[in-house]
Amino acid sequence: MPLRDILVHASDNGRNSANWTLAGAIAADHKARLCAHYTHIPYTMPAYVEAYIPADIIARQESERMERAESARAEFEEFCRLRQISHEWHFTRDDAIDSLTQRARYSDVVVVGQEEDGLAPMEMADLAPELVLGSGRPMIVVPYAGQFTTVGQRVLVAWNGSREAARAVHDALPILKRARKTIVLSVDAEPEGHLPGADISAHLARHGVLVEAAQTVAKDIDVADAILGAVSDYSADLLVMGARVHSRTRERARGGVTRHARKQMTVPVMMSH
């Protein structure tokens, strides 16, 4: 089943173009509708600070941000027009996570940018884990470094047999069916007398996926680093993995494969919970 509705996050963070490029490539491949959801976070400051700043300065700053939002809308619409992509634009002043979570439920996949430490507002730093946890939809996270004009030609699937991994594989099926090669990778799996990813690979093959199973051992490195190393070894342009994420407070306090991969990614990562 092809993808029909793709949601891409847009904001005043300088990474809209990279997100649109990747989302647009998927939309064009699947002949899907591309919806951009722009989250406008109002300019706020403590009351004791605001009291010392003239109202016209605050109003001018807000006006400039609204102008940037309008400029982003024009750029997005031109981007889609040139590529003949069906599209729509949504603008909201509501909480970014809540509004995107609601919009995501009407989409097949959501494309968001990787958070960049020290540059994103606190609520935006929580966007990826909260969105995949609350929306019930798969998410593709785009690295903040680089441009990605194609995605899903060579896919690496991180397989550990978990519910989250199974959900990710099936959510990714529309992309896997179009891939030239899919590698199902198991890391440090317990010996079972056969290749750990063989069963899920056979299942994918029956869906028409060109797939092979592989296995590696993480010696003296984290499992996430082993997976990211395999992304490079296999020249993958997309990593598919299950997302074990938690609420905002617990996510900040935990490490784990999902968080590490999200922080250190070098190619887009498709996650499902």
Quick one: pLDDT at residue 100? 93
- As a whole-number percent, the residues of the chain with pLDDT over 70 amount to 83
Amino acid at 186: S
User: Stretch 1-6: mean pLDDT, rounded?
Assistant: 92
Beta strands 238-242 and 211-216, pairing class: unpaired
CA distance 269 to 143: 8
CA distance 10 to 17: 9
User: Stretch 98-124: mean pLDDT, rounded?
Assistant: 80
Local confidence band at 235 (pLDDT 50, 70, 90 cut-offs): very high
Quick one: pLDDT at residue 122? 47
User: Stretch 92-114: mean pLDDT, rounded?
Assistant: 91
Quick one: pLDDT at residue 20? 94
Quick one: pLDDT at residue 223? 87
User: Stretch 105-119: mean pLDDT, rounded?
Assistant: 84
Quick one: pLDDT at residue 254? 41
Residues in a beta bridge with 88: 35
CA distance 96 to 11: 10
pLDDT in tens, 6-19: 999 998 777 899 99
Whether pLDDT at 31 is above 90: yes
Quick one: pLDDT at residue 50? 61
Which is higher by pLDDT, 87 or 146? 87
pLDDT in tens, 122-132: 455 568 888 98
Contacts of 31 (CB under 8 A, 6+ apart): 2
**What are the DSSP calls for 119-175, one per residue?**
TS-HHHHTHHHHHHHHH-S-EEEEPSSS--S--SSEEEEE--S-HHHHHHHHHTHHH
Which of 59-73, 156-170, 183-197 has the least mean pLDDT? 183-197
pLDDT in tens, 17-27: 999 999 999 99
Alpha carbon 154 to its chain's center: 17
Quick one: pLDDT at residue 117? 61
Q: Which residue has the tokens 């494969």?
A: 257
Residues in a beta bridge with 9: 37
Contacts of 113 (CB under 8 A, 6+ apart): 9, 13, 15, 18, 19, 141, 142, 144
Whether pLDDT at 255 is above 50: no
Local confidence band at 73 (pLDDT 50, 70, 90 cut-offs): very high
Q: Are 267 and 237 in contact (CB under 8 A)?
A: yes
* pTM greater than the 0.75 cutoff: yes
Quick one: pLDDT at residue 28? 96
Beta-carbon-side half-sphere exposure of residue 9 (alpha carbons within 13 Å) = 29
Contacts of 71 (CB under 8 A, 6+ apart): none
Quick one: pLDDT at residue 244? 78
Q: Are 109 and 269 in contact (CB under 8 A)?
A: no
CA distance 29 to 181: 16
Quick one: pLDDT at residue 124? 58
pLDDT in tens, 148-177: 988 999 999 999 999 999 999 999 999 999
Local confidence band at 63 (pLDDT 50, 70, 90 cut-offs): confident
Q: Quote the radius of gyration of the chain (alpha carbons, Å).
A: 20
Mean residue pLDDT of the chain comes to 86
Local confidence band at 251 (pLDDT 50, 70, 90 cut-offs): very low
Q: Are 185 and 158 in contact (CB under 8 A)?
A: yes
Q: Are 257 and 165 in contact (CB under 8 A)?
A: no
